Chain A
Amino acid sequence: KQEVTQIPAALSVPEGENLVLNCSFTDSAIYNLQWFRQDPGKGLTSLLLIQSSQREQTSGRLNASLDKSSGRSTLYIAASQPGDSATYLCAVFTGANSKLTFGKGITLSVRP
């Protein structure tokens, strides 16, 4: 059974820091991995999708890497801003039941 872990559950950093959010998964047989952002009381916004054959994806200040063999992904946020404060979730797609398996998320607070 696929399990996705995100540690720590919460993170507080000062504005301007470069930071790394970690995600680990137990079954390396994945098709893709997605990183999402969720603001309080809102739906999920897709940030980056990495296919199993890819090593990384970039969008603006965000860079996500994937090491499928070790079951790890990282989301790198450059020059963090207060507007980056949100919960960040990673999810893996294994094809079983066509579902994404989600981690519980990391709640990020960027202090001005």
Chain B
Amino acid sequence: DGGITQSPKYLFRKEGQNVTLSCEQNLNHDAMYWYRQDPGQGLRLIYYSQIVNDFQKGDIAEGYSVSREKKESFPLTVTSAQKNPTAFYLCASSQAGYYNEQFFGPGTRLTVL
């Protein structure tokens, strides 16, 4: 059963901690993406990767970091430098190229205590 999995579903972070959100896909997609969703705003791109061992900053990359060591995995680390990390985080993937559909995972809700 192909798809995108994200874990955990809920994550609580204390001030000053780094946390890592997991994203795994078994769709054999080359491209993967991280978006952030806040109430009343559209989704905003944090980072994207079009190929293993390469990734690019999106619109709101400050305070976040990623790695792409395997095709199927694209973890996102929310660092203590991110001033307002409480949000819903969505991972997506697609075939490479400009004409391909993006598919999304179920999301991780991060709350800072």
Contacts and interface: CB of A to CB of B under 8 A. Distances in A.
Per DSSP, chain A at the interface is strand
A98 B50 contact: yes
A45 B107 CA distance: 12
A77 B109 CA distance: 30
A81 interface: no
A103 B99 CA distance: 19
Interface residues of A, number: 26
A103 B48 contact: no
Nearest to B41: A104
Given A41-B109, A46-B101, A46-B102, A99 B42 contact: no
B18 interface: no
B104 A97 contact: no
Contact of B99 (A51, A100, A101, A104): A51
The range of chain B's interface size is 20 to 34
B59 interface: yes
Interface in A69-112: 89, 91, 93, 95, 97-105
A28 interface: no
A6 B58 CA distance: 23
B43 A102 contact: yes
Contact of B59 (A41, A45, A99): A99
Contact of A98 (B48, B101, B105): B48
19 contacts: A32-B98, A34-B102, A44-B90, A44-B104, A45-B104, A46-B102, A46-B104, A51-B99, A93-B98, A97-B56, A97-B58, A97-B59, A98-B33, A98-B48, A99-B48, A99-B59, A102-B42, A102-B43, A105-B42
